[in-house]
Amino acid sequence: MLAWLRNIRVAIRTVAQGMWITLWYFLQTYKRKAFTQHFEYPELPVPVKPRYRGFHKFDLTTCIGCDKCARICPVDCIYIDKVKNPVGKGFRVNGFKIDYTKCMFCALCVDPCPVDCIFMGSTHDQSCYTRDGCIVDFAKLPVEIAWGQATLNPTAIQASKLTVEPVWTKPPDPPPPPKPPAAAPPTAPAPTTTS
């Protein structure tokens, strides 16, 4: 009988302790500020941890077009458009697209890159109204973003849809103006004879 009473006492004490912890956390929610009171997003950015895997940053100047990132991607969301470099060896990257409707931000594409041209950034917000807005062509973005110096933002992505030329190309130099026909050297007038 004594053991039975001891078990009842332990059960009541355990339940009371659990309820006290629950009540304490319940009351703490009323002392805490809401998330939106701490961070006035988007005016004040939400802090992220140093190893946060956000949207990719891509340095177009160092990419050699090896296709390793596209091959390792488990969901096939990276598309690289490249052509054989006419001068020397290697490839020229014409397009580097990432489909963020498929991407699961696993960062497997970062590790195999031999020149470290793709890495994970800390940007976590890319709002768009269509699925087409989630396909980002890094070759057509503004130079600062394409070279990994600025963050990816929805405005730049929408502007890149209007760009028809990759960022590293410049219009060809105009052909030199045709040279005027060379003027014949002046000839001395023929002597005239008077009779």
Annotate 104-157 with three-state secondary structure: CCCCCCCCCCCCCCEEECCCCCCCCCCHHHHEEEHHHCCHHHHECCCCCCHHHH
Of the pLDDT bands very low, low, confident and very high (cuts 50, 70, 90), residue 89 is confident
The ranges assigned to domains in the chain are 56-162
The whole-number pLDDT of residue 146 equals 61
Task: Determine which of 4-13, 29-38, 78-87, 112-121 has the lowest per-residue pLDDT on average.
Answer: 29-38
Amino acid making up residue 158? Q
Do 98 and 123 form a contact (C-beta atoms < 8 A)? no
The whole-number pLDDT of residue 47 equals 76
Architecture of 56-162 per CATH? 2-Layer Sandwich (3.30)
Q: Is the dihedral of CA 129, 130, 133, 135 positive or negative?
A: positive
Q: What is the mean pLDDT of the chain?
A: 79
Rounded to 5 degrees, φ, ψ at 147 are -90, 10
CA end-to-end distance (rounded Å), the chain: 165
Q: Is the confidence at residue 10, as pLDDT, over 80?
A: yes
Residue, of 121 and 170, whose pLDDT is higher:
121
Q: Is the confidence at residue 37, as pLDDT, over 70?
A: no
Give the list of residues 6+ apart from residue 56 with CB closer than 8 angstroms, or none. Answer: 98, 109, 118, 119, 120, 121, 138, 152
Can you read off the two tokens belonging to residue 55? 């949207």
The CA distance from 136 to 115, in Å, is 21
Q: Is the confidence at residue 172, as pLDDT, over 80?
A: no
pLDDT in tens, 93-133: 888 899 999 999 999 999 999 998 888 887 777 777 788 88
The whole-number pLDDT of residue 102 equals 92
pLDDT in tens, 178-191: 777 766 666 666 66
The whole-number pLDDT of residue 191 equals 64
The CA distance from 54 to 124, in Å, is 5
